[in-house]
Structure formats: C-alpha cells, structure tokens
C-alpha cells in the first residue's frame, strides 16, 4: 500500500510538471492521412537475460563499448567513455545470487594512458535490434552521491535513454532520446520525473518505442509519453485516433530501422559529467547497481498468413571487389519506383555508400572500403533488412 501511494503521488507530480507546449520552432510540418496509430498486437520476447547462472553470458554481452577495430575494446573511449571518472573492467560485471552486479571500486586505473580513480562495470549487447521494441529492466540503483547509472540503447544515429540518474537525487529520473546528425551535431528531446528513491528497492523501468509514441513505464504504470506529432500550435498529439491534416513532427524522434544495441552501465561522476560530480568522501565504496533482468520485446503479428522470407543475398562473399546483392522475395518494381536504397554500413552502422535498387540484382563498388566486416541494409515499408559481408582486400 505504501508503494502504491508513493507511485500515485509521483504520477501527480509528473503530470503536473509535464510541458503543455513543445518548443516547436525547429519542427518540420508534415501531412498525415489520419487513422488509428496505436498498435494492438501483443509484445513477443526476443531477447532476455535473467542472470541466473554463475557468470556473465559473454555470447550475449560485451563489457566495453565496441568502438575499436572489429568491435574490440582497442580505443581510449572503449573503456572510459570520454571524460567520465572510471575505467570499465570485465571483472566489475559480476553475476551471482540471480543478479548482475555492476560494481564500482575506488582504485586507480588507466586505459590508453588515461588515468582514472575508479573502476566500474557495464554490459553492452552483442545483438542489435532494428524494429520497434519494448526495452525493460528491473534494477536497484547504487546508493550515495557521485554515480551516473543508465539503461539505454544506442546505434550511432539513434540514442534512447530509458533512464539516467545522478544518484545524489535518486528519486529524479531522466529519460529521452537523441538523433545524431553527423559530426558534433545532434538534436534531443527529454523529460524528468520526481519519483521514489530508486536506490532503496528494485523497480521495473521500461520504454515502449512505437511508430507514433514512446511510452515510459515504472512498475507497470505508464508515467509519460513522448509523441511523434504535435499540433501546429505546439500541443502534443496524444490520442490514438488522429484526424487527417498537417502536424509538426519532432525531428529527434528515432528513425526506424537503424540498428541499436542495449547498454546498462554505472558511470562515475567527474568534473564535466551531467547530473552528478565526483563521489564525495561519505559515499560508500565499493558500491553497485543490481540488475534482476533485462528484456527486449517486439510486436507480434498474429493471424497473418505465412509470407515468403525476404532476404538480401550478397555475392561473392567474401569479396575483393564489387559486391552484388540479390533481392529474394521482394517486390522489386515497387522498390525501384520508390527509389529504395541499399546501404553499405561499417561495423558502427555508419553509412559508407549507397546505391538505388537497380533490379533483382544491385551492384555496389567496395573500392573505397578498407578490409573488414560490413553490413548491407535495405529499408522499405517500415521494415529493415540486414546482412553481413566481408571485404578482404
């Protein structure tokens, strides 16, 4: 009963603080044909880890940011994440007692010559997700000031922050999303809640990423929604049934089809980190974020007749020259009419070049590519198709 009352009070505070009008001066005007935009298909579990073993499943997780060559940790950023106060170490991600513990220790360490006073733990999924999805975690925050825990998904052009905290205010949850435009340019939409103390007990925090809304939940109660569309006067479009007409579209709303991977981490505050500074002397060390489980769901589509599987078939693979892509079971004339593109992406999902669909087989040059692993991607009708190929010389 106490938890229910606390959550109800939090909901009232959250709704009272919610902005009525968006800052829409940079929003683009679009025409929407109208209709019901809320999906009603059930969620299907596509990825999960309950951390029931005695060690981390390294087929599912990395314990660094895979930004080095071939997804390795061989870069200064890979284990420091910039100007944060820690080095991420494999041994600081511990599975025991049915929990994943991301442990922060006060101990000097260095990575690529960068000196830090703390080590910490993180997990980064190997699997990437390209569909609308529900991202879910049940966890308990570290207790004490000076930490920056987060649960988020990232894919170079897309970042969705299910939550971020500065643990000096463990009842203040930050959520939002970024779109990266290239270089240092990015756009951002966010919201902040006042809630219970998330360091005192476990809580379920989830975000549903849908075509027209992103919904944030705490303990199975929806507490906030980010809309894709706003009225021309800046009011959020919150209804499922949208009338035909012109609307303003949030330019930061994540682009469908960009691969993202799931991350949970505990950063240590430093001079220039948001939400918190370095841990004060009274913060207990070692400290930890405890995670009961992480789950990813995607929408099921029951009742549909089985359809032929659509695939991109690259050849020759590996290749030392051009790569050809055969489109299997696609409506090729429609693809050519709509100007669909086949992209070559590097391991970080950055577009290296693209080519319009030319027919059943499309040819792309790889002369400018260094040897390594790449992806081919086709996006059509709200669906993304990915396949790997290897450049060998």
Rg of the chain over Cα atoms, rounded to whole angstroms, equals: 22
**CATH number for the domain running over 20-299:** 2.60.120.200
Q: Count of alpha carbons within 13 Å of 377, Cβ hemisphere only?
A: 22
Residues of the chain short of pLDDT 50, as ranges, are 1-20, 302-306
Q: Could you tell me where in the chain the CATH 2.60.40.3080 domains are found?
A: 311-391
> Which residues are within 8 A (CB) of 122 and not within 5 positions of it... i.e. 6 or more apart?
63, 64, 65, 88, 93, 102, 263, 264, 265, 266
Q: Which two tokens stand for residue 352?
A: 């290296």
Residue-level pLDDT at 311: 83
Q: Could you count the other beta carbons within 10 Å of the beta carbon of residue 63?
A: 20
Q: What is the pLDDT of residue 307?
A: 52
pLDDT at 40: 86
What's the CA gap between 156 and 65, in Å, rounded?
12
pLDDT of residue 376: 93
DSSP-derived letter for residue 219 is T
Predicted pLDDT at 3? 42
CATH architecture of structural domain 311-391: Sandwich (2.60)
pLDDT for position 348: 80
DSSP type of residue 77: H
- Dihedral sign, Cα of residue 50, residue 210, residue 256, residue 386: positive
Which part of the chain is CATH 2.60.120.200? 20-299
Are 332 and 351 in contact by the 8 Å Cβ rule? The answer is: no
Q: DSSP characters for 5-59?
A: HHHHHHHHHHHHHS-SS---TTPEEEEE--EE----SPEEEEEEE---SSS--TT
Place of tokens 């303990």: 219
Q: Is 303 left (phi over 0), alpha (psi -120 to 50) or beta?
A: left
Could you tell me where the DSSP H helices lie in 260-305? none
């Amino acid at each position: 009963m106490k938890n229910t009352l606390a959550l109800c009070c939090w909901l009232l505070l959250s709704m009272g603080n919610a902005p009525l009008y968006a800052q829409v001066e940079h929003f683009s005007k679009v025409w929407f044909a109208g209709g019901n935009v809320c999906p009603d298909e059930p969620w299907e579990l596509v990825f999960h880890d309950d951390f029931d073993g005695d060690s981390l499943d390294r087929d599912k997780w990395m314990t660094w940011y895979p930004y080095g060559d071939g997804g390795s940790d061989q870069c200064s950023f890979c284990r420091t994440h910039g100007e944060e106060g820690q080095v991420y170490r494999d041994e600081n991600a511990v599975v025991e007692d049915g929990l994943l513990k991301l442990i922060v220790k006060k101990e000097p360490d260095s990575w690529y010559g960068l000196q830090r006073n703390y080590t910490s733990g993180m997990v980064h999924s190997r699997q990437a997700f390209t569909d609308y999805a529900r991202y879910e975690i049940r966890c308990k925050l570290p207790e004490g000031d000076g930490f920056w825990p987060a649960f988020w998904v990232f894919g170079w052009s897309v970042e969705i922050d299910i939550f971020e905290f500065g643990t000096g205010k463990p009842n203040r949850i930050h959520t939002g999303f970024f779109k990266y435009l290239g270089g240092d340019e990015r756009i951002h939409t966010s919201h902040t809640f006042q809630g219970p103390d998330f360091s005192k007990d476990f809580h379920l925090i989830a975000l549903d990423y849908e075509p027209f809304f992103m919904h944030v939940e705490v303990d199975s109660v929806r507490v906030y929604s980010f809309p894709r569309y706003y009225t021309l006067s800046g009011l959020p479009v919150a209804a499922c049934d949208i009338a035909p007409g012109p609307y303003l579209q949030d330019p930061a709303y994540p682009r469908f089809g960009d691969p993202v991977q799931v991350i949970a981490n505990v950063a240590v505050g430093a001079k220039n980190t948001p939400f918190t500074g370095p841990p004060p002397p009274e913060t207990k060390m070692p400290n930890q974020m405890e995670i009961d489980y992480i789950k990813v769901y995607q929408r099921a589509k029951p009742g549909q007749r089985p359809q032929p599987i659509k695939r991109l078939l690259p050849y020759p693979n590996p290749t030392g020259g051009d790569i050809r892509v055969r489109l299997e079971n696609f409506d090729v004339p429609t693809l050519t009419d709509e100007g669909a593109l086949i992209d070559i992406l590097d391991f970080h999902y950055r577009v290296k070049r693209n080519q319009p669909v030319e027919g059943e087989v499309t040819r792309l040059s790889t002369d400018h590519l260094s040897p390594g692993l790449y992806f081919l991607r086709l996006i059509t009708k709200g669906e993304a198709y990915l396949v790997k190929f290897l450049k060998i010389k």
